[in-house]
């Protein structure tokens, strides 16, 4: 297995150095890992209420940290990824920044809806005041927009709107189907993200129905623990691998300098 979604202490809400994450990966026998720490929102002129990303001046240090690891491990190959928020209106800025950067892959994630950090436990109470049907619709429409920008190789925790267990009254089947279709149309990869198991919702991202629909449409998948501490690298990966195989996946997507390569699962 590969773990393509690792954070570091630079984002201010995770712990551990890249070396410590790598040590876990070696211990549990992963063949490849990728760091995808939170891209500095300051570079997109966005200031969240709580600091949840690295600072603009840290980006180069982050890249240098990971560069060093690549020579450090003969056992695990190490990729340089990044997790970037899709914030409508920042497309132009993002395009310029990505043209200059040198990532192996870019994970596009949605953590903010109109300034609400809906994935942050501190603001989870707000779900109670929301129309959940409308909320899910808004969320999935943003996911589709993110895919259509073409900026993202992988969409992160693609149904993270379920994180705190708030579900809409109406069925979300049509959102899942449409999500698979948009991923396929835009040739965007997604991830099996195991972090949801440790969130109140208690299940992986995404819903199994989306795994099935995406496979049927030829969408490629990668895997990530969304580790925010070295002890979380590869969490629940035995189960994740079993699930992917059960659904019918036989390959995982890897990325080098933003070009995709499929490896056997
Ligand atoms: Zn995070
Ligand atoms: Fe995220
Ligand atoms: Fe993450
Ligand atoms: Zn994340």
Confidence of residue 52 (pLDDT cuts 50, 70, 90): confident
Distance 120 CA to ligand 1 centre (A): 9
Per-residue pLDDT, 158? 98
- CA separation for the pair 83, 114 (Å, rounded): 19
Residue 101 confidence (pLDDT): 85
pTM (predicted TM-score) = 0.97
More confident residue, 255 or 56: 255
CA 213 to ligand 4 center in whole angstroms? 23
pLDDT at 6 over 90: yes
Q: Which ligand is nearest to the CA of 82?
A: 3
Closest ligand to Cα 81: 3
Q: How far is the CA of 83 from the centre of ligand 1 (A)?
A: 9
Find the angle CA(132)-CA(191)-CA(103) to the nearest 5 degrees: 115
Q: Alpha-carbon distance 190 to 146, whole Å? A: 12
CA of 38 to the centre of ligand 1 (A): 7
pLDDT at 71: 77
Confidence of residue 48 (pLDDT cuts 50, 70, 90): confident
Per cent of the chain over pLDDT 90 is: 88
Q: How many angstroms separate the CA atoms of 239 and 203, rounded?
A: 11
What is the pLDDT, as a whole number, of residue 50? 79
Cα 216 to ligand 1 centroid, rounded to whole Å: 30
Ligand nearest to the CA of 52: 1
> Mean pLDDT across the chain, nearest whole number?
95
The rounded Å distance from CA 83 to ligand 4 centre is 7
* Rounded mean pLDDT, 243-251: 98
Of 54-63, 225-234, 243-252, which range is least confident?
54-63
Task: Give residue 119 CA to ligand 2 midpoint distance, Å.
Answer: 8
Q: How many Å lie between the centroid of ligand 4 and the Cα of residue 11?
A: 11
Using one digit for the tens of pLDDT, what is the confidence trace for 116-166?
999 999 999 999 999 999 999 999 999 999 999 999 999 999 999 999 999
**DSSP code string of the chain:** -EEEEE--GGGSS----HHHHHHHHHHHT-SEEEE-PBP-GGGGT---SS--S--GGGHHHHHHHHHHHHHH-SSSEEEEEEEEE--TT-HHHHHHHHHH---SEEEEE--EETTEETTSGGGGGGGGGS-HHHHHHHHHHHHHHHHHHS--SEE-STTGGGTTS---SS--HHHHHHHHHHHHHTT-EEEEEGGGGGSTT-S-BS-HHHHHHHHHTT--EEEE--BSSGGGTTTTHHHHHHHHHHHT--EEEEEETTEEEEEE-
pLDDT at 72 over 80: no
Q: Which pLDDT does position 100 carry in this prediction?
A: 85
| Section 95-114 average pLDDT | 94
Task: Say yes or no to pLDDT of 12 above 90.
Answer: no
Distance 136 CA to ligand 2 centre (A): 17
Query: What separation in Å is there between the alpha carbon of 157 and the centre of ligand 4?
Result: 7
Is the backbone peptide bond immediately before 106 cis, with ω within 30 degrees of 0?
Answer: no
Tell me which ligand sits closest to the C-alpha of residue 11.
1
pLDDT digits (tens, 9 = 90+) for 203-218: 999 999 999 999 999 9
Compute the distance from residue 39 Cα to the ligand 1 centre, in Å: 10
Backbone angles phi, psi at 154, to 5 degrees: -135, 140
- Residue 6 CA, ligand 3 centroid: distance in Å: 7
């Amino acid at each position: 297995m590969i773990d393509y979604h690792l954070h570091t202490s630079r984002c201010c809400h995770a712990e551990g150095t890249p070396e410590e994450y790598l040590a876990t990966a070696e211990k549990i026998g992963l063949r490849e890992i990728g760091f995808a720490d939170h891209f500095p929102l300051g570079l997109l002129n966005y200031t969240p209420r709580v600091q949840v990303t690295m600072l603009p001046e840290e980006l180069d240090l982050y890249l240098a940290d990971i560069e060093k690891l690549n020579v450090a491990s003969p056992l695990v190959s190490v990729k340089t990824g990044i997790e970037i928020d899709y914030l409508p209106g920042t497309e132009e800025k993002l395009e310029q920044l990505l043209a200059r950067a040198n990532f192996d892959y870019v994970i596009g994630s949605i953590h903010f809806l109109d300034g609400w950090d809906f994935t942050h436990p501190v603001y989870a109470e707000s779900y109670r005041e929301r129309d959940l049907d409308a909320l899910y619709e808004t969320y999935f429409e943003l996911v589709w927009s993110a895919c259509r920008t073409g900026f993202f190789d992988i969409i992160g925790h693609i149904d993270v709107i379920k994180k705190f267990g708030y579900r809409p009254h109406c069925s979300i089947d049509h959102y899942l189907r449409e999500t698979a279709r948009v991923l396929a149309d835009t040739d965007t990869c997604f991830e099996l993200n195991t972090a949801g198991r440790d969130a109140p919702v208690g299940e992986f991202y995404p819903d199994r129905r989306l795994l099935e629909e995406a496979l049927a449409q030829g969408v490629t998948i990668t895997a990530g623990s969304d580790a925010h501490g070295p002890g979380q690298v590869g969490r629940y990966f035995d189960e994740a691998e079993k699930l992917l195989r059960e659904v019918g996946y036989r390959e995982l997507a890897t990325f080098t300098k933003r070009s995709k390569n499929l490896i056997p699962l």
